Chain A
């Protein structure tokens, strides 16, 4: 039988993979992918916990809301990446360190 715990473990794994991608990848697109993975991990959790709210389906509703937001976010993020590329001629986050003091 698949319990809540199984969902949570899968979610955590996805989150960890996404986190790894965000921190370690050398490509901004893949970082963005990592972010999407972490969002999806969160959505999975929402849906999994949604089972306990069978009257109002708050979990599912919130998951849908998050998916839409993530899509919008990706759009903005891709636009930023494009602009970064235009400016720096690279999308490797290692090389973009203008924020350094």
Chain B
């Protein structure tokens, strides 16, 4: 096939993906000679420009699809290509846009680390893979990038590899992600097996295999005639398994809190804003595939995750763990968005969440950085991530406080923030969707609402513990911690601005006007319940206010009424013992199994082989015995017999003539007698 014409948007998109990759290669080759991250920073900035150009050209216009032959296997041709439509260019821009501030932030945050050249190399690799993931035009290429982002995440989580916890965490992250990868693999194997292609456009595009099914009946997909219903469901669930691992859905969420062992800047980019959202993105990309069963599973898992993670977040002391669970919880919200058939809303929330969650992590990073600094300077020996050692920081780090406040309110879904627009839209639609259901799934929006209230509580708790009250450590007042450097603050301010409503809409209270939602795809029509559109925002806002008061009472006024150590407290503190379960039961079972099999290998299979050898030896021994004793014995017997006979006969050899004569006569006599008898 002829090479596709390279239009400017395509060229821009390709360079957006490849620039960080070039950066990666350059830095990998230079090794320790590239310390300051200039290459990474420049390539990601150029990449952002290219992504911005692509976005401007494609957004709202016809999708662009280009592909080149990659390889042929048998007669099946596989392509590598770009599919630039509204969803992918939006993600392209988002990833590049979030990555740039994080890169800038890292310049200051990672300064002086002995392995910093590796840091920049890995970060560039991640950006390239993530950008490739969002624009890939077929599932195979997507899978490639999907695993590569996981690999980059592995490298970055284990960045401080001399720490045992980091080494364990990156292993855990990769293995859990591998479980998901297998789901992804099986999913696209099913599609390929029945439909013979992996091209997203052919499968899910306007005239694709699933086109007739989607559109009019958004959530009532009829089975495609080429795929049996059972396999369709299986494919949907397999892809969801992939998304579950990547987007840290319960019960595969365990790797994300552990992943906080990586540098905080990494957590903000990869484990909050971009990579973990890839699962949601994948599901949105292949949305027409899902049938009712799969969607229900997605929605249920999402709701459970949203609630459970929020519950775990309530009692954590590690500032990054709280944020990690918060991320998991919000990803659960997005999953519900997919599950109720409103993947546009899920994507919208993904975008807004990316900004404020990234900001929250960067803020946390600024605080940790400062505390680490104090810790080193005054030999305090404290854990710089523990919120019990913070408090009263508002005075010393006001800008950080303000930006964190904005982000927290956005997370809580407070009006005038981007989070309000997206999260409340999700909640409203969840209620509208539930109105159509008539089984237990009507509980889903209520669970979400509870999770949402819990969200307000834990994030405000975090704010109160960190910034309000009085410093927990005496040194703090004398040492006077201060704001981070401009390299760190400016990115935070940029992200704070993006967490507010103006970026998305001009009417802060009505998500329907958001340009993002209007362009992605026409919203599928659920019967609107007008009352909800007023009630839900009102109630969530009131709940947030109530939580603010509660937190103020408990943590700022120090009137904490509960006893730490109750059952529910411990369950939350220990993160539901999920990790314990995996370590003690699942991992132990696998190890046990492998040891048993090794034993079988060594003793039974090898034993059989050695037994055969021994059997052979025994047979040989028997044959040898037979040979020596029986066969040889017979031969020797004959010899002995002859010898013995000779011995007897020699007696007759007296040497005397007369004896000989006698015997001659005797023999003649015998012969004569014989003849006499025979003849008679």
Q: Which residues of A contact B (CB under 8 A)?
A: 19, 22-24, 31, 93-94, 96-101
Contact = CB atoms under 8 A, between A and B. Distances in A.
A89 B665 CA distance: 29
Interface residues of B, number: 10
18 contacts: A23-B658, A23-B662, A24-B658, A31-B657, A31-B658, A93-B657, A93-B658, A94-B656, A96-B657, A97-B654, A97-B655, A98-B655, A99-B653, A99-B655, A99-B656, A100-B654, A100-B655, A101-B655
Given A24-B658, A96-B657, 9 more contacts: A19-B665, A23-B658, A94-B656, A99-B656, A100-B653, A100-B654, A100-B655, A101-B650, A101-B653
B661 A23 contact: yes
B672 to A, nearest CB: 13
A100 B650 CA distance: 9
A93 B656 contact: yes
A96 B656 contact: yes
Contacts of A98: 655
A97 B657 CA distance: 8
Nearest to B653: A101
Contacts of B653: 99-101
A96 B658 CA distance: 10
A81 to B, nearest CB: 12
Which 6 pairs show the lowest CB-CB distances between chains A and B?
A: A100-B655, A97-B655, A99-B655, A101-B653, A23-B662, A97-B656
B658 A22 contact: yes
A36 to B, nearest CB: 15
Contacts of A100: 653-656
Interface of B: 650, 653-658, 661-662, 665
A31 B657 CA distance: 10
A22 B655 contact: no
Nearest to B650: A101
A31 B654 CA distance: 18
Nearest to A100: B655
A22 B661 CA distance: 8
Nearest to A31: B658
Contacts of A93: 656-658
Nearest to A98: B655
A93 B658 CA distance: 7
B432 to A, nearest CB: 129
Contacts of B661: 22-23
Contacts of B665: 19, 23
A94 to B, nearest CB: 6
A98 B656 CA distance: 8
B420 to A, nearest CB: 132
B54 to A, nearest CB: 121
A73 to B, nearest CB: 15
B461 to A, nearest CB: 124
A100 B654 CA distance: 5
A70 to B, nearest CB: 17
B670 to A, nearest CB: 16
Contacts of B662: 23
Contacts of A22: 658, 661
Contacts of A99: 653, 655-657
A82 to B, nearest CB: 16
Nearest to A99: B655
Contacts of B655: 96-101
Contacts of B658: 22-24, 31, 93-94
A49 B658 CA distance: 31
Most chain A CB within a 10 A radius of its CB, from B653, B657, B665: B657
B669 to A, nearest CB: 11
A101 B658 CA distance: 16
Contacts of A101: 650, 653, 655
A19 B665 CA distance: 9
Contacts of B650: 101
A22 B665 CA distance: 11
Contacts of A24: 658
Contacts of A94: 656, 658
A76 B653 CA distance: 26
A19 B666 CA distance: 12
A23 B666 CA distance: 11
A68 B260 CA distance: 141
A6 B298 CA distance: 142
Contacts of B657: 31, 93, 96, 99
Contacts of B656: 93-94, 96-97, 99-100
A94 B655 CA distance: 9
A94 B654 CA distance: 10
